[in-house]
Amino acid sequence: PVAIVERAQRHFRKAHFCNTYGASEAFWMTRYDEPRPPGAKSELPIGEPYGAFKLSLLDRQGREVDAGETGEICVEGPVLLDSYWRDPEATRAARLNGNPNSFRTGDLARRDGAGNLVFLGRRDLQVKVRGHRFELEEIEQVLAECPGVTAAAASAIEEGAAAEIRAAVVCGSREGLADRIGNYCAQKLPRFARPARLIFLEALPRLPSGKIDRLAIHRLLV
């Protein structure tokens, strides 16, 4: 968050701040040097690629997206993963047209007015409901902001020929919470993105890495 960077800059007046982006498969791909103060922007860019890398933003058909549009971050360069351990299928899927020096990150981004990349989330969390594409994380953020909710996870569930959003929430007291969530989401989310069903959990299931176990969440919501 920009506000945290502003606070840190006030406390560490001689420090230089930069925002870097990378993955286990391609470490430190981009860098953004943060000015003082950050300026009137709502999000920190991840900047431009280091000289060793060529980055492109591609749509689902593998075409470069237009300026300002969302695309998957794809990288080419000499310092990338060799392969996924004993998983040739995943290795092939991660390549661009079979190029061994390439990697599809699965991350989404767009370019801002200055040409810097702005990170938008994971491709596998982007869903399509009633013809609209959006990020599950956008719904989860709204749910987590609702008074009484401490954590949330959402999933798109197929219902016949359509899909609907369902969500799991962690809370203290459940009394009246479903109505509060419904009213809050009605103010913050378009109709197609509002959860059609809620379940209440004591804690979200998580993987050994600490990340949300999205497969487990999906199974609970079906």
Per-residue pLDDT, averaged over 150-155, amounts to 93
Better-scored residue on pLDDT, 98 or 42: 98
Count of other CB atoms within 10 angstroms of residue 205: 15
pLDDT in tens, 165-197: 999 999 988 999 999 999 999 999 999 999 999
Q: What is the 3-state secondary structure (H, E, C) of 54-99?
A: EEEEECCCCCECCCCCCEEEEEECCCCCCCCCCCHHHHHHCCECCE
Residue 161, pLDDT score? 64
pLDDT in tens, 21-60: 998 888 889 999 999 887 777 778 999 999 889 999 998 7
Residue 116, pLDDT score? 94
Better-scored residue on pLDDT, 54 or 134: 54
